[in-house]
Structure formats: C-alpha cells, structure tokens
Amino acid sequence: MYARVSTYEGSAEDYDRGLEKMKSDIVPQVNDMPGCKGILSMVDRSSGRSLSITLWDSEDAMASTREHANRVRSDAAASTGATITNVAEYEVGVAELS
C-alpha cells in the first residue's frame, strides 16, 4: 500500500468550513480514482495545520492519479483559503484499523 500526504496551513475555522465540501465533493472524487483504498483528514486546531492522507493499492495507482489529485487538492485549498505547504508520497509499512 502507498500513501500521499498533503499538508495545509490555515486555521481551524478554514478546516471547519471545508468539511462539507470535503464530504460532499472531495471524498467521492478521490474514492473514484483507480486504486484508491481510502482517505483520512485531520487538523491540529491550535496551529491550523491540517493533513489529508490518501491510500493507494499500488505505487502505479498512486502515480497515475497524481495530476488529478493535484487539481482536487488545489480546489479543496482554494475553497477554504488554506495554503498547500507540502505533498509527499510514501510506501506504507503497517496499516491496521479496528
């Protein structure tokens, strides 16, 4: 499994404003991308920094969605006023949810 981690700077209020768009628009777009295994979003309310993590079944699937993901990410940031500060890709060593 592979993960793309996007980091945003904004405020907790920016994050809250973007949650509805995330649920209604961003999550379905990401889930429809080939090879997507899921998406997580989290915020540090004290700093306003937030992360989104998308999970992919293969490195090829993650790579093939890179351009589409860039557009979706930019749209999400623009809708809240947040700034994208970093995007990184990783191989997942352990994934266990219960």
Rounded CA separation 17/94 (Å): 32
SS3 content of the chain, % helix, strand, coil (to 5): 40, 35, 25
- Res 52: pLDDT: 94
- Res 55: pLDDT: 97
Domain coverage including residue 44: 2-91
Share of residues in the chain with pLDDT > 70 (%): 100
Burial of 68 (0-12, 13-18, 19+ CB in 10 A): middle
pLDDT per residue as tens digits for the range 29-79: 999 999 999 999 999 999 989 999 999 999 999 999 999 999 999 988 988
DSSP annotation of 33 reads S
Is residue 98 situated within a structural domain? Answer: no
- Strand ranges, E, within the chain: 2-9, 36-43, 50-56, 83-91
In the chain, the number of structural domains is: 1
- The model's confidence at residue 88, banded by pLDDT at 50, 70 and 90, is very high
CATH number of the domain that residue 73 is part of: 3.30.70.100
pTM of the model: 0.90
Is residue 11 situated within a structural domain? Answer: yes
- The model's confidence at residue 7, banded by pLDDT at 50, 70 and 90, is very high
CB 5 within 8 A of CB 51: yes
- What region does 81 belong to: left with phi over 0, alpha with psi -120 to 50, or beta? left
Is residue 97 situated within a structural domain? Answer: no
Residue 13 pLDDT > 90: no
